[in-house]
Amino acid sequence: MGGARMRLHSVPLPSVEQRQRGLMDWLGQLPGPAWLTLPGREPDRHRVVVTLLHGNEPSGVRALWQLWAEPPQCAVTTHFCLANLDAALFEGGFVHRHRPGQPDMNRCFGRAGAGEAYQLTAAIAERIAELAPEAVVDLHNTSGSGPSFAVTIADTEAHRALSGLFTERMLRTRVRLGALMELTTPTTPIVTIECGGALDPASDEVARAGLTRFMALDSVLTEQPATWQLDCLYDPIRVQLMPAGKIRYRAEPVFGADLTLPPDIERLNFGWLPAHSPLGWLGERGLAALALSDGLGRPPVESLFYQAGNELRLAKDSKLFMITTNPTIALSDCLFYMVVA
Ligand SMILES: [Zn+2]
């Protein structure tokens, strides 16, 4: 099973009747991963919006649902890909990042593998390569609460301009995970937009305002007369718990946990923290419970952290982001990313 379900299905914009029944109902009626197209003033140019690679990150599709009610005049032919509907619809809707037992879809691009997630990501990559769009944006929400930011693998004017349509922050990373934005080329820049937390009311508006610009503007590849200054952060380091580590989120250390972080740690997202700031509490394994990755290698944990008593402390002035308080994601993906001053 699955092969047919996992191809991209070209579907029309939702009808008035479908709109009345609502977004979830419409998503439930789709034959599978969906591809929609709106005509533009310049039909031979193309732009692509991808969203729902992660099933519990709805800001992109919610913003599109709003925009499609009265679509703006698109500058160029604009395509919309709703990817992991299987996960998005499972158990009530927007609950699961991926279907249990399936790989994370935004870890499968450019990677060889068997199964539906790899089939679909290959189909999306193929469609993008065929169209040769001038720009691709991939809309996500962060696992935790926090402000919006863009993620790219390249720091070019095109990547900065695309990021700046949506958000004030851009991360250029060396970490390669199999994400769609890693397929960026000199002629097709691709950026990830993290609109903010799925539950943050501002996130849907970040997506809506950015998509309106992405669809309507004649040029999205040159930086706009500064609506805001783009803050670029380079080479974030991914902070992970060692395999089978035990993480807890509590206001005091939990016995038996390798790491306890306070439940409100998300409030640290994107703020500068001075060296020696305590982040949480280590267990018996101490710093050995943690692992770092910068995309090139594995820097020693002691380069960024030290232990004082049972406290985990910052060795340098640092900025943390993509902090999660979801223990499943903390274990399967990472605790957070950071850059040092
Ligand atoms: Zn995501």
Dump the DSSP string for 159-194.
Answer: HHHHHHHH-SEEEE-----S-GGGG--SSS-EEEEE
Ordered by where they begin, the domains of the chain are 9-233 (3.40.630.10), 236-340 (no CATH)
Residue 1 pLDDT: 40
- 52 C-alpha to ligand 1 centroid (Å): 8
DSSP category for residue 269: T
pTM above 0.85, yes or no: yes
CA 310 to ligand 1 center in whole angstroms: 33
CA of 151 from ligand 1 middle (Å) equals: 11
CA of 307 to the centre of ligand 1 (A): 32
CA 152 to ligand 1 centroid distance, Å: 14
Beta strands in 188-242 (DSSP E): 190-197, 231-234, 237-241
Ligand 1 centre to CA of 138 (Å) is 9
| Gap from CA of 85 to ligand 1 centroid (Å) | 14
Question: What's the gap in Å between 177 CA and the centre of ligand 1?
Answer: 12
Q: Are strands 135-142 and 40-51 parallel, antiparallel or unpaired?
A: parallel
Q: What is the pLDDT of residue 4?
A: 52
| pLDDT for position 332 | 86
Mean pLDDT by 10 residues, the chain (341 residues): 70 97 97 97 98 98 97 96 96 93 95 94 97 98 88 96 96 92 98 95 96 96 82 93 95 97 93 96 97 90 97 97 90 92 87
Residues making up the chain, counted from first to last:
341
| Ligand 1 center–CA 87 separation, angstroms | 12
pLDDT at 5: 57
Rounded to the nearest angstrom, the distance between the alpha carbon of 284 and the centre of ligand 1 is: 33
Residue 138 pairs with which residues in a beta bridge? Answer: 50, 192
